[in-house]
Amino acid sequence: MQDIIQHLKSQHLVWQANLTKADEHQFLNSSGFPELDALLGGGFPPHGVVEMESVGSIGELRLLAPYLEASLSRGVTAFIQPPALMNSLFLHSIGLDINQVWVITPEHQRDALWAAEQCLKSGVCTNVLLWQDELEIHQVKRLQVASEQGSCPLFMLKPNMTNRLSLPVSLSLKLQGHEQGVSVEVLKRKGGWSKGSVDINFQHHYPQLVMPSTTRIPSTVVNFPLANQG
């Protein structure tokens, strides 16, 4: 059986799923974290819906900050329906120009989806971040089309779901916090194969926000046995 499989592979009739590569003609944008780029096969897609699932407030924006800062000169970054007030000092601290930032807070979910669609296909925005609990398949497909029209990716931040619906997104990530930063797991990658997870260390970018390193320094103290006491 093994010989048959090897023969089929040599004839390029079968492929190993874990060696499948994403579209080589698609230009990917670096996340700013080399270890994350390696996991994603090069970085974030230039368009499409990127699903980010987490418990919330564990450093999602700080994870995206280097990427958002690098793409800032190309257009506007839109924050739609954030769960809390966006602080201009925080945005400035992660490298964003508040003159190139839109914060949109609709009253209803349908208005948030409409705003996201308009921003995506406007040609003005380079990135759209949408906080949304859940979307239907037809809604994601519509946002995917708008994203391709405007060459603008949509990052959808959502809470952890126990019974999650598999959506037709370009990339699906699950984030978990830890003492040194966040752990990122690839749940789904369009045109590629999920390669597990990676721990992203925030020590270099945000040293004041992470726990001190617990690396132990070898002791040079030599212990001598106690003298026998009679």
Largest CA distance in the chain: 90
Q: What is the CATH number of the domain that holds 72?
A: 3.40.50.300
Q: What is the separation of C-alpha 43 from the centre of its chain, rounded to a whole number of angstroms?
A: 9
pLDDT digits (tens, 9 = 90+) for 134-161: 899 999 999 999 999 999 999 999 998 7
Q: Is residue 151 part of a domain?
A: yes
DSSP single-letter state for residue 39: H
pLDDT digits (tens, 9 = 90+) for 45-92: 999 999 999 999 899 999 999 999 999 888 999 999 999 999 999 999
- The structure's pTM equals 0.80
pLDDT interval class at 22 (50, 70, 90): very low
Task: Provide the domain count of the chain.
Answer: 1
Q: Is residue 136 part of a domain?
A: yes
| Percent of the chain predicted with pLDDT > 90 | 63
Q: Is residue 102 part of a domain?
A: yes
Q: Is residue 16 part of a domain?
A: no
Report the C-alpha gap between 148 and 150 in whole angstroms. 5
pLDDT interval class at 203 (50, 70, 90): confident
Q: How many helices (H) and strands (E) does the chain have?
A: 6, 8
Q: Is residue 74 part of a domain?
A: yes
Q: Is residue 217 part of a domain?
A: no
Give residue 46's domain range: 35-161+170-178+190-208
Q: Is residue 49 part of a domain?
A: yes
Q: Is residue 90 part of a domain?
A: yes
Query: What phi and psi, each to the nearest 5 degrees, are found at residue 174?
Result: -120, 125
Query: With b meaning 16 or more CB within 10 Å and e meaning fewer, what string describes 213-227?
Result: eeeeeeeeeeeeeee
Position 10 scores a pLDDT of 63
